[in-house]
């Protein structure tokens, strides 16, 4: 059976290659994190399907590239409209498959999927320009040319949202795409493939090969026919991919994990600080940007902790389809066990857990209680490793210098949140923080014109605006002399 019914929609469980559905001999089982229910048997891709997909994407490349930004833009705008027309289906589908809140998918995430596509299509047409400049009378003319076939490897925490940060600029650049969605959340990518077909995107321009990282993923990133690899996921996997990419010198863009600090200074609005801190539990803590290390000035630590716990106690955990729910389940049993392992080891290590610290027994299944670890031992696992669950640490500092030292004291550098009542104070801190994105007195404001990515082990490269095109396209400079012209 190659179709399943989820959320009233018919989802094809096969790959999408060269505009047609292709089945694999083997399948794997996809379940819903909400209640463990069976969602379907998904085609499990291997080298053979990757070969087919690369061939299809290469064949489609010239035609797509030749359409130019305006020709491609028309089809991409239609695709964005189709996402909006099917928003409710996509929202329900994603919730069933990955357990994130239906209300956020409806209000925020799926509208952003459409926006991601529209934004990059528009950017390629209207903003991807560089003023020519002169060198001794010679003009330098910069252009962004299509580069070939992009391998896009995406995670399960925001499947279609994160995929379209890559699909948008890759397709707008004139590249063709092979998407390998995360094995736990393949459904929205499959449905999206149907929408690309309906939008009239030519066969082979957008392809989806499903399956495991070690099989389909590994074959894809090692393929010599790939011009770019864009990956969002974990640091260990990024290292494996970088090694595979090295053989072909394929450029990579990596968006990896973090252990971001949320700094609450003595001059902060503590209600705002507590509100921002509690937000770090969103998506059951499965957010790369999450500020999981709350660093508070010692003078306000007690007052902040009271406000934080007051707010955190109101978090409603439950079925992500219920509009009252604030946080849902973890993605998968394997991941749930990983999170529980971190917390159990912290307990065994004598760390003080003042909230949560265990599965939600009432709800059962994959629900883990929002957890707070107080004053973890510096350097211990719980305060250095990315847990990727609803587990926050709280520590205190006594000076700006100490705050900065603690904030910057990990191997990561993805994001930071600064809460302070004085601009000068905030400026002084942000200047010395190591992070791709810093939010001051706010969180999660993301403009697609801005660069996004991580420093240190949190990533390689930046995406957004021109930064995306600098990666996906072949940037070319044509130098034209004033001499030698016949007319």
Q: Which is nearer to ligand NAI, 234 or 380 (CB)?
A: 234
Does the footprint of ligand NAI cover residue 234 (CB under 6 A)? Answer: yes
Does the footprint of ligand NAI cover residue 330 (CB under 6 A)? Answer: no
Q: Which is nearer to ligand NAI, 196 or 283 (CB)?
A: 283
Are 12 and 194 a contacting pair, CB within 8 Å?
yes
Q: Which is nearer to ligand NAI, 185 or 360 (CB)?
A: 185
Q: Rounded to the nearest whole angstrom, what is the least distance from the CB of residue 103 to ligand NAI in the complex?
A: 21
Residue 280: name its binding partner from ligand NAI, Mg ion, none (Cβ under 5 to 8 Å by kind).
none
57 phi-psi bin (left φ>0, alpha ψ -120 to 50, beta other): alpha
Q: How many residues bind Mg ion (CB under 5 A)?
A: 3
Residue 97: name its binding partner from ligand NAI, Mg ion, none (Cβ under 5 to 8 Å by kind).
Mg ion
For residue 84, which of 169, 164, 184 has the smallest C-alpha distance? 164
String marking each residue 345-384 x if it binds ligand NAI according to CB under 6 A: ----------------------------------------
Q: How many CB atoms lie within 10 A of CB 52?
A: 19
Are 398 and 290 a contacting pair, CB within 8 Å?
no
Given candidates 13, 24, 27, 30, which one binds Mg ion under the rule CB under 5 A? 30
What are the E-state strand segments in 381-436?
Answer: 391-397, 415-419
**d(C-alpha 76, C-alpha 195), whole Å:** 11
Instruction: Report the site for ligand NAI in 194-213 (rule: CB under 6 A).
Output: 212-213
Does the footprint of ligand NAI cover residue 261 (CB under 6 A)? Answer: no
Q: Which is nearer to Mg ion, 97 or 386 (CB)?
A: 97
Residue nearest to ligand NAI (CB): 213
**d(C-alpha 373, C-alpha 228), whole Å:** 40
Beta bridge partners of 460: 254
Are 333 and 301 a contacting pair, CB within 8 Å?
no
For residue 475, which of 193, 234, 130 has the smallest C-alpha distance? 130
Q: Which is nearer to ligand NAI, 154 or 396 (CB)?
A: 154
Does the footprint of ligand NAI cover residue 217 (CB under 6 A)? Answer: yes
> Of 187-195, 214-222, 264-272, 347-355, which segment contacts ligand NAI by CB under 6 A?
214-222
Does the footprint of Mg ion cover residue 94 (CB under 5 A)? Answer: no
Q: Which residues have a Cβ under 8 Å from the Cβ of 401 and sit 6 or more positions away?
A: none
Q: Which residues have a Cβ under 8 Å from the Cβ of 450 and sit 6 or more positions away?
A: 437, 464, 465
SS3 168: helix
Does the footprint of ligand NAI cover residue 320 (CB under 6 A)? Answer: no
Does the footprint of ligand NAI cover residue 232 (CB under 6 A)? Answer: yes
Does the footprint of ligand NAI cover residue 218 (CB under 6 A)? Answer: yes
Q: Which residues have a Cβ under 8 Å from the Cβ of 231 and sit 6 or more positions away?
A: 152, 153, 221, 237, 238, 241, 252, 253, 254, 255
Q: Rounded to the nearest whole angstrom, what is the least distance from the CB of residue 39 to ligand NAI in the complex?
A: 17
Does the footprint of Mg ion cover residue 100 (CB under 5 A)? Answer: no
Nearest-10 crossing angle of helices 187-198, 87-98: 160
Place of tokens 């040319």: 145
Does the footprint of ligand NAI cover residue 388 (CB under 6 A)? Answer: yes
Are 205 and 178 a contacting pair, CB within 8 Å?
no
Instruction: Report the site for ligand NAI in 468-487 (rule: CB under 6 A).
Output: none
Half-sphere exposure of 239 (CA within 13 A, CB side): 4
Does the footprint of ligand NAI cover residue 215 (CB under 6 A)? Answer: no
String marking each residue 274-293 x if it binds ligand NAI according to CB under 6 A: --------------x-----
Q: How many residues bind ligand NAI (CB under 6 A)?
A: 27
Does the footprint of Mg ion cover residue 97 (CB under 5 A)? Answer: yes
Does the footprint of ligand NAI cover residue 153 (CB under 6 A)? Answer: yes
Does the footprint of ligand NAI cover residue 413 (CB under 6 A)? Answer: no
Q: Which residues have a Cβ under 8 Å from the Cβ of 151 and sit 6 or more positions away?
A: 178, 180, 220, 221, 223, 226, 228, 229, 230, 250
- Which two structure tokens, joined as six digits, stand for 334? 């394997």
Does the footprint of ligand NAI cover residue 99 (CB under 6 A)? Answer: no
- Which two structure tokens, joined as six digits, stand for 189? 């990518």
Given candidates 95, 116, 157, 396, which one binds ligand NAI under the rule CB under 6 A? 157
For residue 219, which of 255, 190, 251, 178 has the smallest C-alpha distance? 178
Does the footprint of ligand NAI cover residue 237 (CB under 6 A)? Answer: yes
Given candidates 107, 138, 214, 428, which one binds ligand NAI under the rule CB under 6 A? 214
Residue 204: name its binding partner from Mg ion, ligand NAI, none (Cβ under 5 to 8 Å by kind).
none
Residue nearest to Mg ion (CB): 97
Binding site for Mg ion (CB under 5 A): 30, 97, 184
- Contact positions toward ligand NAI, by CB under 6 A? 153-157, 180, 182-183, 212-214, 217-218, 221, 232-234, 237, 240-241, 255-257, 288, 338, 386, 388
């Amino acid at each position: 059976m190659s179709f399943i019914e989820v959320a009233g929609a018919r989802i094809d469980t096969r790959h999408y290659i060269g505009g047609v559905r292709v089945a694999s001999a083997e399948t794997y089982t996809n379940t819903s994190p909400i209640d463990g229910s069976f969602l379907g048997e998904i085609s499990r891709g291997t080298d053979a399907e990757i070969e087919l997909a690369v061939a299809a994407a290469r064949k489609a490349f010239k035609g797509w590239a030749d359409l130019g930004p305006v020709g491609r833009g028309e089809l991409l705008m239609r695709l964005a409209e189709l996402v909006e027309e099917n928003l409710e289906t996509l929202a329900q589908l994603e919730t069933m498959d990955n357990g994130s809140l239906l209300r956020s998918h409806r209000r925020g995430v799926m509208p952003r999927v459409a926006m991601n596509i529209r934004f990059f299509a528009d950017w390629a047409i209207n903003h991807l320009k560089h003023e020519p400049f002169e060198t001794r009378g010679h003009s330098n003319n910069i252009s962004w040319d299509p580069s070939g076939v992009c391998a896009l490897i995406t995670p399960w925490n925001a499947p279609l949202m994160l995929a379209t940060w890559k699909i948008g600029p890759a397709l707008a650049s004139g590249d063709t795409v092979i998407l390998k969605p995360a094995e736990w959340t393949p459904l929205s990518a499959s449905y999206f493939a149907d929408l690309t077909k309906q939008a009239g995107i030519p066969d082979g321009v957008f392809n989806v090969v499903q399956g495991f990282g070690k099989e389909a993923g590994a074959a894809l990133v090692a393929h010599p026919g790939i011009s770019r690899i864009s990956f969002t996921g974990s640091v260990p996997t990024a290292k494996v991919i970088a090694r595979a990419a090295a053989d072909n010198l394929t450029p990579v863009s990596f968006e990896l994990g973090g252990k971001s600090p949320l700094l609450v200074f003595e001059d902060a609005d503590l209600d705002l600080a507590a509100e921002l801190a509690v937000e770090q539990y969103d998506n059951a803590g499965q957010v790369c940007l999450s500020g999981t290390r709350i660093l508070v000035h010692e003078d306000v630590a007690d007052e902040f902790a009271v406000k934080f716990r007051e707010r955190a106690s109101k978090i409603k955990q439950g079925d992500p389809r219920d509009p009252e729910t604030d946080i849902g389940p973890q993605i998968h049993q394997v991941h749930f066990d990983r999170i529980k392992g971190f917390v159990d080891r912290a307990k065994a290590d004598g760390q003080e857990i003042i909230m949560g610290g265990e599965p939600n027994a009432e709800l059962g299944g994959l629900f883990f209680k929002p957890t707070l670890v107080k004053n973890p031992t510096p350097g211990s696992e719980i305060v250095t490793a990315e847990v990727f669950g609803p587990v926050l640490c709280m520590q205190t500092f006594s000076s700006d210098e100490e705050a900065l030292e603690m904030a910057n004291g990990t191997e990561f550098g993805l994001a930071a949140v600064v809460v302070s009542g004085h601009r000068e104070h905030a400026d002084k801190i942000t200047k010395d923080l190591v992070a791709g994105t810093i939010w001051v007195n706010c969180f999660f404001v993301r403009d697609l014109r801005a660069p996004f990515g991580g420093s240190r082990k949190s990533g390689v490269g930046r995406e957004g605006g021109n930064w995306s095109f600098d990666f996906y396209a072949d940037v070319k400079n044509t130098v034209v002399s004033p001499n030698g012209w016949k007319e």
